[in-house]
């Protein structure tokens, strides 16, 4: 992944000479590439923002695909001279002044309209807490005025918009910064501080961001400012951007992710794309499979307590094994009641075609057998009684085929069935005898278990009444954990707790305390994470929500107001 060498820039185009010589005054919002001469816009009075942010603010006509707005307002400093760095993959790089003025350059594949800072602040201040933006990020560039102007923008923002309404992040330019700069930004109200290291090794950094492309950045300086931010902002309030696809190995990426986590920081992964006009626009993006694999591994390391040491790499540094303890999380043996694809033993009440299972018994048996002997927890999706019967009888077959040594840890594996909705006493008993674990979704019953609801429409009154026998599962001693199956139902766990306590069949209802246990420690046990999740105990993750009324004592859970949410010890919400 070697960039092209930067070509010389004609003297008449260096340092924004064309824009400065014309000295055109900006008139309101400026749209790049709009067949008009580029005005001389300069921060802190003007800032640029992504097209998505400009649409969300109502500064640019348009709408966003599949969503109504963007939640982060990324404010980019702007000057006629532009960014004086020359990063090989960046659309804002200095060498591009040979062909395009700074304010007209594509960056991350989109245009960045410019607007007066006062206009942006006024629009958001008027919206108050109704603003669609959840965060504002000031993105610095390499320019002699960038440090001071960032502070000016931050002062102007916090003077009108409290940080409790929209917190502010700094995407820093370490090359020109000092420890004092970091302290001042924190004192002015910045909540988090991020360093865009981008390259995952010193060699790649030098080749794509340093002397290899006539750029002023250095690896030691970036780490110096990151450590300064750690001292000033503290753990959990610092982060680092990393780009996958610049020539690094998988091991390089994940080693940095683990290192950052151990330092109290976050990693933010980006995927290299050959941005048009850059020194690397001739090079390929990384394969999507590699990118997805690294995203998953990074998430496990940062949010699930997984360690780099558990991962396996080949001699070339490619990620070969995540070292995960389970497989098949939602391997479906059938479909759903709503789609009439759940495998049922008797025909659907509305005459829908009879479905069948997705796997033959022998296929399923081989998968179960191999997963168990590999030391993995096996999980499958099964909703209809015929589908669940297939899973249970296949596990019985596999168990009988194991010798005494191979059976030793069978129950401890907690092999899981997801949903387990359409069951009678026989299937419950056989699942309990095997020690299978059951993942249930109580909100299904609240949505579909009432008379005339989805279950009754598809299955008839008798079969619908017997659906989701939570009380029977609990009384028989099965391992049960609860979830929402979001986005199929609402993510709110209190909705699930309320559904447990108001099951359509009173005999299958759980108490409020039982429902909370199943929704917390029960879920942690299903994932073999009860040592670090599911309850508030010394040594476990500090994951909890605080409400205005105790959910165990409240007469109803309707209307309870969350006042705080903490994840991994970090405040992520406060009313």
Could you give the C-alpha distances from 289 to 293, 294, 314, 482, 566, in angstroms and in order? Answer: 6, 9, 17, 31, 33
Query: Are residues 373 and 520 located together in one domain of the fold?
Result: yes
Q: Is residue 188 part of a domain?
A: no
E strand or H helix at 147: helix 146-160
Assess whether the previous peptide bond of 487 is cis (omega < 30° from 0).
Answer: yes
Q: Is residue 375 part of a domain?
A: yes
Structure token digits, residue 63? 């709408």
Q: Is residue 518 part of a domain?
A: yes
Neighbours of 233 (CB within 10 A): 23
Query: Are residues 501 and 571 located together in one domain of the fold?
Result: no
Beta-bridge mates of residue 564: 546, 574
Query: Are residues 502 and 556 located together in one domain of the fold?
Result: no
Query: Are residues 525 and 547 located together in one domain of the fold?
Result: no
Q: Is residue 508 part of a domain?
A: yes
Quick one: pLDDT at residue 298? 97
Structure token digits, residue 408? 């030793």
In 262-392 the beta strands, taken as DSSP E runs, fall at 265-271, 312-313, 319-321, 326-332, 377-382
Query: Are residues 351 and 473 located together in one domain of the fold?
Result: yes
Query: Are residues 479 and 553 located together in one domain of the fold?
Result: no
Query: Are residues 407 and 547 located together in one domain of the fold?
Result: no
Give which of 8, 72, 4, 81 is closest to 38, Cα–Cα: 81
Beta-bridge mates of residue 48: 76, 114
Query: Are residues 507 and 546 located together in one domain of the fold?
Result: no
Count up the domains in the chain and report the number: 2
The rounded distance, in Å, linking the Cα atoms of 263 and 254 is 14
Query: Are residues 504 and 515 located together in one domain of the fold?
Result: yes
pLDDT tens, residue by residue, 506-534 = 999 999 999 999 999 999 999 999 999 99
Q: Is residue 383 part of a domain?
A: yes
Q: Is residue 44 part of a domain?
A: no
Pick out the chain residues at pLDDT < 70. 34, 326-329
Quick one: pLDDT at residue 324? 83
Matching residue, tokens 């300069």: 42
Q: What is the CATH number of the domain that holds 381?
A: 3.20.20.140
Neighbours of 220 (CB within 10 A): 9
Quick one: pLDDT at residue 233? 98
Quick one: pLDDT at residue 437? 97
DSSP code of residue 275: -
Backbone phi and psi for residue 194, each to the nearest 5 degrees, phi listed first: -125, 140
**Alpha helices by DSSP H, 174-315:** 179-187, 202-209, 219-233, 250-262, 288-303
Beta-bridge mates of residue 571: 566
**What is the longest distance spanned by two Cα atoms in the chain?**
86
Q: Which residues contact 390 (CB under 8 A, 6 or more apart)?
A: 333, 343, 357, 359, 361, 364, 382
Q: Is residue 507 part of a domain?
A: yes
The rounded distance, in Å, linking the Cα atoms of 332 and 381 is 4
The rounded distance, in Å, linking the Cα atoms of 413 and 291 is 30
Could you give the C-alpha distances from 500 to 2, 346, 535, 550, in angstroms and in order? Answer: 59, 27, 19, 18
Beta-bridge mates of residue 49: 75
Range(s) of the domain holding residue 412: 326-539
Q: Do 275 and 91 meet the contact criterion of CB atoms below 8 Å apart?
A: yes
pLDDT tens, residue by residue, 317-375 = 999 989 887 665 678 999 999 999 999 999 999 999 989 999 999 999 999 999 999 88
Calculate the CA 240 to chain-centre distance.
Answer: 15
Query: Are residues 516 and 451 located together in one domain of the fold?
Result: yes
Query: Are residues 404 and 546 located together in one domain of the fold?
Result: no
Quick one: pLDDT at residue 33? 75
Quick one: pLDDT at residue 305? 87
Q: Do 312 and 321 meet the contact criterion of CB atoms below 8 Å apart?
A: yes
E strand or H helix at 4: none
Quick one: pLDDT at residue 165? 94
Structure token digits, residue 375? 């030391």
Q: Is residue 285 part of a domain?
A: no
Q: Which residues contact 569 (CB under 8 A, 6 or more apart)?
A: 236, 541, 542
| Strands across the sheet containing 72-77 | 114-116, 46-49, 72-77, 135-139, 168-172, 192-198, 238-244, 265-271
* Cα end-to-end span (Å), the chain: 47
The rounded distance, in Å, linking the Cα atoms of 558 and 495 is 8
Neighbours of 409 (CB within 10 A): 10
Quick one: pLDDT at residue 344? 97
Query: Are residues 338 and 420 located together in one domain of the fold?
Result: yes
């Amino acid at each position: 992944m070697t960039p092209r060498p930067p070509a010389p820039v004609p003297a008449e185009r260096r340092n924004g000479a064309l824009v400065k010589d014309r000295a055109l005054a900006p008139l309101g919002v400026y749209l790049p590439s709009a067949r008009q001469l580029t005005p001389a816009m300069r921060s802190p009075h003007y800032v640029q923002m992504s097209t998505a942010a400009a649409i969300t603010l109502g500064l640019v006509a348009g709408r966003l695909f599949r969503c109504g707005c963007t939640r982060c307002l990324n404010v980019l400093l702007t000057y006629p001279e532009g960014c004086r760095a020359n990063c090989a993959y960046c659309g804002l790089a200095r060498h591009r002044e040979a062909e395009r003025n700074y304010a007209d350059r594509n960056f991350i594949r989109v245009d960045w309209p410019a607007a007066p800072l006062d206009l942006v602040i006024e629009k958001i201040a008027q919206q108050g807490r109704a603003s669609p933006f959840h965060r504002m990020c000031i993105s610095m560039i390499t320019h002699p005025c960038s440090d001071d102007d960032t502070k000016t923008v931050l002062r102007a923002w916090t003077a009108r918009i409290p940080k409790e309404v929209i917190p502010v992040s700094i995407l820093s330019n370490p090359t020109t910064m000092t420890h004092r700069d970091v302290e001042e930004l924190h004192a002015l109200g910045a909540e988090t501080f991020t360093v865009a290291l981008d390259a995952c090794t010193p060699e790649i950094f030098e080749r794509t961001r340093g002397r290899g492309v006539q750029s002023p950045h250095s690896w030691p300086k970036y780490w110096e400012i990151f450590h300064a931010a750690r001292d000033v902002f503290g753990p959990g309030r610092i982060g680092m951007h990393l780009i996958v696809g610049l020539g690094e190995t998988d091991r390089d990426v994940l080693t940095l992710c683990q290192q950052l986590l151990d330092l109290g920081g976050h990693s933010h992964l980006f995927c290299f794309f050959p941005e048009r006009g850059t020194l690397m626009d001739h090079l390929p993006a990384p394969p999507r499979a590699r990118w997805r694999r690294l995203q998953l591994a990074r998430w496990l390391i940062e949010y699930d307590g997984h360690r780099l040491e558990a991962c396996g790499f080949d001699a070339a540094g490619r990620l070969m094994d995540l070292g995960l303890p389970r497989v098949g999380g939602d391997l479906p043996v059938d479909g759903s009641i709503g789609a009439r694809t759940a495998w049922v033993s008797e025909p659907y009440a509305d005459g829908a075609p009879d479905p069948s299972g997705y796997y033959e018994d022998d296929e399923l048996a081989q998968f179960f057998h191999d997963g168990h002997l590999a030391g993995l927890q096996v999980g499958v999706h099964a909703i209809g009684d015929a589908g669940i019967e297939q899973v249970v009888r296949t596990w019985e077959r596999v168990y009988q085929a194991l010798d005494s040594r191979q059976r030793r840890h069978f129950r401890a594996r907690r092999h899981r069935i997801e949903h387990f909705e359409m069951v009678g006493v026989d299937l419950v008993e056989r699942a309990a005898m095997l020690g299978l674990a059951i993942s249930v979704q109580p909100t299904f019953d609240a949505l579909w278990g009432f008379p005339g609801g989805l279950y009754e429409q598809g299955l008839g009154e008798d079969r619908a009444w017997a659906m989701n026998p939570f009380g029977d599962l609990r009384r028989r001693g099965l391992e049960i954990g609860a979830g929402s199956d979001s986005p199929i139902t609402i993510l709110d766990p209190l909705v699930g707790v309320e559904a447990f306590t108001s099951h359509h069949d009173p005999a299958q209802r759980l108490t409020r305390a039982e429902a909370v246990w199943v929704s917390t420690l029960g879920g942690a046990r299903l994932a073999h994470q009860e040592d670090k999740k599911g309850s508030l105990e010394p040594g476990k993750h500090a994951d909890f929500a605080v409400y205005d009324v105790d959910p165990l004592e409240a007469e109803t859970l309707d209307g309870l107001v969350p006042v705080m949410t903490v994840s991994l010890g970090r405040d992520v919400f406060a009313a």
